[in-house]
Amino acid sequence: MVEMRRAHTRDAYGRALVELGRRNPNVVVLDADLSTSTKTAMFGKEFPERFFNVGITEQNMMSIAAGLATCGKTVFVSTFAVFATGRAFNQVRQSIAYTNLNVKIVATHGGISVGEDGASHHSIEDIALMRVLPNMTVVVPADAIETEQVIFAVAEKPGPVYVRLCRPPTPLIYEEGYKFRGQPLKYELGKAVLLEEGSDVTILATGILVYEALEAAALLRKKGISAEVVNVHTIKPLDEELVEKSARKTGAVVTAEDHSIIGGLGGAVAEFLCETYPVPMARVGVRDVFCDSGPWEELLAYYGLTASGIADAAQKVISSRGVVR
Amino acid sequence: MPIINNKHEPHTEELVKRLEKLAKKFRREILIMTTKAGSGHPGGSLSAIDVITAIYFHQLRHDPSNPKWEDRDRFVLSKGHACPALYAVLSELGYFPKDEIHNLRRIGSILQGHPDMVKTPGVEMSTGSLGQGLSAAIGMALAAKLDRKDYRVYVMLGDGEINEGQVWEAAMVAAKYKLDNLIAILDRNRYQLDGYTEDFLPLEPLAEKWRSFGWHVMEMDGHNMKEILDTLDEAEKVRGKPVMIIAHTIKGKGVSFMENENKYHGKALTPEELEKALKELEDPEDDEPRG
Ligand SMILES: Cc1ncc(C[n+]2csc(CCOP(=O)(O)OP(=O)(O)O)c2C)c(N)n1
């Protein structure tokens, strides 16, 4: 077996921000005393004039970002996901989403892969909170390489965007230059990426669960099951065309995410499919509980956010489809 | 309308009279539009209108025919529920037709129940959820510094509004960045929604609080037009610090039965009350339509 390559999505963010700063003097960055963790400090070091560390004032930071955006700035704001979306929810809603302003909320430390810091720092509801806001685009890159693509793409897209990154160094599924298994790809917001074709079940995954989904497909293959694997990096707007096409093809869908099964990718897909093409479905994610502290990979395993968790769910939906059909 | 840039006009009696007359007209319009809508916040609109009138007709450099002009001064109404006051002023200046005030709070109108910068020309920031406008104004003031522009940002807060912790977060940040292009006005009408401010969360000593947060603090009678004009001028001379002007005002100012009567915080006058109020606000030289 080849050794797994890993990288931090937030390192990729920090580097991309610096590059953006060089390209575009209108880019400004705000942070709330977490810049060494979110990696916005890299931007701050190179562009101190355009970097505002406003102290531990997340709510204030969101509204300042809005004010800067009204003056034509492309504003990136960063803090941990749980604070960006929960602590400052009303500010994001009132000052950024309602106003449709050009603010990119790039939050790190999404999901339970935050690990040892525990439930106060786990972000299991951020995707749901951001997804429900009109005007908001919601993006969860699958790895560090995709993160770079996402940051450049959202900088070009007018309006509010939420980008969710994570804490630990996570497995790379892409190769340098945004290639998948040697094949060069073109990143497009809102267009999910069909990574593996299959015919028995569709696995729609986002963020760090995309890697697990690919592993799950390998496990299933050994059992003679052909799984289609899709990286749904943009949760809103959902790539409805691809989701429906794949659901029609396989007749069984599993979603997988490092987030609550309520309101995130699983929620989005269920809402969409039940109105268009209902199929048996299973959601892999945090099952409406606050999770414990622990090493992140052990945590993911403990709560079933793994390749085997996904593979089990896939087998279940396939068998329930058998009954339905 | 060309760029409005009146602030060098001396503060003559004639100017003061003209602004007072305008403010009186806006008082009538505030009451007419809220009664017509059947809801809204007349009390805090009446306390704020003299200052807002002075800012828009004398202090602000702006261009109603080009609301997005990059070099304009900005005014953020952080206590967004007082937007009838803002709508009366913006329509007078031609940001949108005066008639629109009769559609306040109606489906399809550009005049929402609270300020909406996307729908209403001239509105700089959508507010309504209290406590956020000062932060937004800081963003605008920081942008001016970054772009080496000389525009100023005015922001009006309610005294109840500053219960919000975010206001004090913002206060620290404005001082840190020495935002002397930021002028905040606190509409100190001593009432909030449920009653007298000092009964809920005592604010005094208010001036000392802001001073200790690193602000230059001034006080004025927020219904004395000459004093408002003089104070706004003085505020522009402050260097190296943001300015907080505490405007001592009266909630419901201008209508005898509304003054300090907090039931008009969030309740429109009935048609009968409106008739009475308009009598008190009559301007013999003006033949404006009623109701
Ligand atoms: C965050 C938030 N909480 C509550 C309200 C409801 N509310 C509207 S006005 C008001 C009182 C505001 O008091 P003050 O700032 O003194 O305004 P004024 O008395 O001048 O009208 C409240 C609590 C709100 N709009 N926003």
* For ligand 1, mutation pick of B51, B81, B206 (most atoms within 8 Å of CB): B81
pTM: 0.96
| CATH number of the domain located at residue range(s) A6-171 in this protein | 3.40.50.970
Hey, whose CA ends up nearest to atom 7 of ligand 1?
B193
pLDDT reported for residue A186: 98
ipTM of the shown complex: 0.94
Give the residue on A whose Cα is nearest the Cα of B142: A68
Residue A279 has pLDDT above 80, yes or no: yes
CB contacts of A96 in chain B (<8 Å) are none
> Is it true that the peptide bond before B42 is cis, omega within 30 degrees of 0?
no
A55 dihedral zone (left: phi>0; alpha: psi -120 to 50; beta): left
pLDDT reported for residue A2: 55
CA-angle at B86, arms to B85 and B89, nearest 5°: 90
Q: With H, G, I as helix, E, B as strand and everything else as coil, classify residue A237.
A: coil
Centroid of ligand 1 to alpha carbon of A137 (angstroms): 30
Q: Tokens representing A76?
A: 């990136």
CB contacts of B146 in chain A (<8 Å) are 28, 49-50, 73
Q: Evaluate the CA torsion angle A269, A271, A274, A277 in order and state its sign.
A: negative
CATH of range A190-324; options 3.90.700.10, 3.40.50.620, 3.40.50.920, 3.30.710.10: 3.40.50.920
Q: Evaluate the CA torsion angle A66, A72, A78, A82 in order and state its sign.
A: positive
- Confidence class of residue A321 from pLDDT cuts 50, 70 and 90? confident
Q: Given this chain, do its domains A6-171 and A190-324 carry the same CATH topology?
A: yes
Number of separate domains in chain B: 1
Those residues with Cβ within 8 angstroms of residue B67's Cβ, 6 or more apart along the chain or in another chain: B95, B121, B122
Q: Please give all residues whose beta carbon lies within 6 A of any atom in ligand 1, as ranges.
A: B 41, 43-44, 47, 79, 81, 128-131, 158-161, 187, 189, 191-193, 251, 265
Task: Report the nearest atom of ligand 1 relative to the CA of B129.
Answer: 26
pLDDT reported for residue B2: 80
Assigned domain for B141 exists: yes
Mean per-residue pLDDT of chain A:
97
Centroid of ligand 1 to alpha carbon of A87 (angstroms): 20
Give the strand pairing for A183-184 and A179-180. antiparallel
Catalytic site positions of A: 58
Those residues with Cβ within 8 angstroms of residue B159's Cβ, 6 or more apart along the chain or in another chain: B186, B187, B188, B189, B190, B191, B192, B197, B203, B206
B118 vs A: CB within 8 A: yes
Q: Where do the structural domains in chain A lie, given as residue ranges? A: 6-171, 190-324
pLDDT reported for residue B284: 85
Residue A69 burial by CB count (10 A; 0-12/13-18/19+): exposed, middle or buried?
Answer: buried
Q: Tokens representing B183?
A: 């002028």
Provide the residue type at B81 as one letter: H
- What would the 3-class secondary structure string for A103-160 be? EEEEEECCEHHHCCCCCCCCECCHHHHHHCCCCCEEECCCCHHHHHHHHHHHHHCCCC
Of B254, B287, B290, B261, which is closest to residue B274 (Cα–Cα)?
B290
Nearest CB to A98 within list B126, B144, B177: B126
Give the residue on A whose Cα is nearest the Cα of B76: A67
Cα–Cα dist A233/B128, whole Å = 34
Centroid of ligand 1 to alpha carbon of B162 (angstroms): 9
Cα–Cα dist B126/B76, whole Å = 9
Residue A324 has pLDDT above 60, yes or no: no
Assigned domain for B268 exists: yes
Residue whose pair of structure tokens reads 């190179």 in the numeric block = A46
Nearest CB to A70 within list B124, B146, B172: B124
B183 vs A: CB within 8 A: no
Assigned domain for B8 exists: no
Helical residues (DSSP H) of chain A, grouped into ranges: 9-23, 35-38, 41-46, 58-70, 81-82, 89-91, 126-131, 144-156, 209-222, 240-250, 265-276, 296-302, 307-324
Assigned domain for B5 exists: no
How far is the alpha carbon of A235 from chain B, nearest alpha carbon, in Å? 25
* For ligand 1, mutation pick of B51, B79, B112, B132 (most atoms within 8 Å of CB): B79
- Low pLDDT (below 70) residues in chain B: 1, 287-291
B173 vs A: CB within 8 A: yes
Domain with residue B268: its CATH number is 3.40.50.970
Those residues with Cβ within 8 angstroms of residue A160's Cβ, 6 or more apart along the chain or in another chain: A92, A96, A97, A100, A101, A102, A103, A104, A105, A133, A135, A136, A137
B161 vs A: CB within 8 A: no
- Confidence class of residue A1 from pLDDT cuts 50, 70 and 90? very low
Judge: A71–B133 Cβ closer than 8 Å, yes or no: no
pLDDT reported for residue B287: 60
CB contacts of A68 in chain B (<8 Å) are 139-140, 142-143
Assigned domain for B68 exists: yes
Nearest CB to B132 within list A54, A55, A94: A94
Nearest CB to A63 within list B135, B172, B177: B135
Cα–Cα dist A288/B64, whole Å = 52
Centroid of ligand 1 to alpha carbon of B157 (angstroms): 10
The whole domain housing B245 covers: 13-280
Torsion angle (degrees, nearest 10) of CA A146, A151, A153, A154: 130
Average pLDDT over residues A128-149: 98
Q: Tokens representing B55?
A: 């800012």
